[in-house]
Amino acid sequence: MPMSRFLTFLAGVFPALLLLPHHALAQLHTEDIWATWLPEPVSPTKLRIHAFNDYVNGMVFAIVVVVAILLVYTLVRFRRNKNPTPSRTTHNVRLEIIWTLIPCLIVLAIVIPSLRLLYFTDRTTKPDLTLKVTGYQWYWGYAYPDQGIEEFSLNLIPNEESDAKKEFAALRDLPAYQRLLSTYDLASGKPAFVVLPVKKNIRVLTTGNDVIHSWAMPAFGVKKDAVPGRLNETWFRVDRPGIYYGQCSEICGINHAYMPIEIRVVPDDQFARWTELMKTDQPAAMDYIQTQTIQFAHRKIEDRHLTLPGMWQELKQAVQK
């Protein structure tokens, strides 16, 4: 294999390998399961995170290239038979100032946009709606104080290994079901989720009821700790209707892996109808959104994708396309 082809190969495969462990979760909201690099951003926060990531990566790449060139030059130019009596010069003031100043400038060039991004994600000045999120061992509770919707909780739909009950089998057959990510309402036994309006600034307040949890939505670029006795704030705006998933991101006990987040982002009129229904009949409200958002149900991530032969099969199909 010629060198350039080998480098292209590495450049293609290496990021893909890095992404593999996050692949199942990160890619869920897009149709393109075998896509590489970062998932498509759906919020202004996530867009800025991607831009910052590209910016820092560009810098890293440039530093690697410069250092590699210097290293090779030094090895060749000052090798023993070319340079038998090495210089014994030490302490060059001008050189030392330069090699201290340049890294300082590089760090500064990272710090400034990084802090700007942190402040951008911190809070919004114009929230359209507040969502209060409470972490419990091991599920999430949600309240909409502005809409007068009292707290309701959402649980994981048990997977096939842990529960063979008929009612769960029916839930798992629904087109929008994603294993270990879909949620339901314990009382009604029906699919239930967080519903939010599209293109609105959502203020999120997180807290914990027992231990520290973390409310994380990769597609929105949001991850906020839910700490008992404290109220943390963040915000996001989703620019596209759809079904989005997240998980608890703070080791919070034995069932930490089983407290997913499912969010259905809908147009304004559907959100208004949902809030109306929620006040009197929660199952009916969830049913209404379920029928409205079913078109966003994506291809299910099946277990075969997570086995090596399954991945190889997918990869071969993707290449043949």
How many residues lie near Cu ion (CB under 5 A)? 3
Smallest gap from Cβ 211 to Cu ion, in A, equals: 7
* Sole window of 75-83, 85-93, 152-160, 242-250 interacting with Cu ion (rule: CB under 5 A): 242-250
Q: Measured from the CB atom, is 44 or 135 closer to Cu ion?
A: 135
Smallest gap from Cβ 161 to Cu ion, in A, equals: 21
Whole-angstrom Cα distance, residue 310 to residue 135?
A: 35
Site for Cu ion in 251-270 (CB under 5 A): 252
What's the order of all strands across the beta sheet hosting 213-217? Answer: 194-197, 260-266, 242-248, 213-217, 222-226
Paired with 226 in beta bridges are 213
* Sole window of 30-38, 68-76, 93-101, 208-216 interacting with Cu ion (rule: CB under 5 A): 208-216
Measured distance between the N- and C-terminal CA atoms of the chain, rounded to whole angstroms: 24
Could you tell me if 192 and 177 are in contact, meaning their C-beta atoms sit under 8 angstroms apart?
no
Smallest gap from Cβ 141 to Cu ion, in A, equals: 12
Q: Measured between alpha carbons, how far is residue 198 from residues 43, 153, 267, 296, 301 in Å? A: 10, 22, 5, 14, 25
Smallest gap from Cβ 93 to Cu ion, in A, equals: 55
Element at 8 (helix H, strand E): helix 3-19
Q: Site for Cu ion (CB under 5 A): which residue of 25, 219, 222, 248?
A: 248
DSSP 307: S
Smallest gap from Cβ 256 to Cu ion, in A, equals: 5
* Sole window of 18-26, 113-121, 124-132, 245-253 interacting with Cu ion (rule: CB under 5 A): 245-253
Q: Site for Cu ion (CB under 5 A): which residue of 29, 203, 213, 237?
A: 213
Contacts to Cu ion by CB under 5 A? 213, 248, 252
